[in-house]
Amino acid sequence: MGGRRFLITGGSQGIGAAVVALARKAGHQVVFTGRDARLIEQVAQGTGAHGLRLDVSSGDDNQKAVEACQARMGGIDVLVNNAAFGYAAGIGEMDIDRMKTMFDTNVFGLVDISNRVVPLMKQQGEGDIVNIASTSGMKGAARGTAYAASKWAVRGISQCWQAELRPLGIRVISVCPSEVQTNWGGRTGRNNPNKLYAEDIAATIMAALDMPHRVLWPEVAVFANNPWKED
């Protein structure tokens, strides 16, 4: 994969930040978005990528992100839809407004920014879209109604886009990580050296992108080999 132009949402921490770092290490141009100015600055300084304080749930912010990519890089070759957050509650106690707010980022924001990027990829006749789903979108779990539903939606959306965009030279890849050691939802104390690291998911994404463009990995589930092992 030669030097390409990346737009990564949710790139200020976790999986997104790991993708920013690997893409920059491989020599690609990167613009990334996030909501925490301090974290954005840390990633930008550490990688040389260009960070923007923008919220993917805002259409205006998504347009700003696309325009910034056009101004700084001349376009977008790879869109990594990583921005997401979780909300857990059992049926009978669901806060529907909180679920809708989560869908604004995890689903509608993903669709909105892709809707703005795809016309550019169609014009250039190629591109890659990586949608970060989850193994939560492959199996149900107690209290997982809202989050699992959003990730099932991402998987279904990805399949629809594959049907639409493969004939146009645009690959759509759905990546489904299992539990990753990140500060997910502001929770600390989740570390277990036998579970996945953000860098593992980033490496998977870069491997999929590095495949010859005639090759498509439509969906990749990534699990830790032995997360139950006692250290």
CA angle 24/22/76 to nearest 5° reads 55
- Strand order across the 78-81 sheet: 50-53, 29-34, 5-8, 78-81, 127-132, 170-177, 219-222
- Which residues on neighbouring strands pair with residue 219, listed in sequence order? 174
Domains in the chain (CATH in brackets) are: 5-222 (3.40.50.720)
pLDDT at 188 > cutoff 90: no
Higher-confidence position of 192 and 139: 139
Burial group, residue 188, by CB count within 10 angstroms (0-12, 13-18, 19+) = exposed
> Where does 74-181 have alpha helices with state H?
96-103, 110-124, 145-165
The yes-or-no verdict on residue 231 having pLDDT over 70 is no
Which residue in the list 32, 147, 152, 161 is annotated as catalytic?
A: 147
pLDDT for 229 equals: 79
Stated pTM of the model? 0.96
Q: 187 burial class (0-12, 13-18, 19+ CB within 10 angstroms)?
A: exposed
Residue 147 is among the residues annotated as catalytic for this protein: yes
Distance CA 164, CA 143 (A): 34
19 pLDDT higher than 80: yes
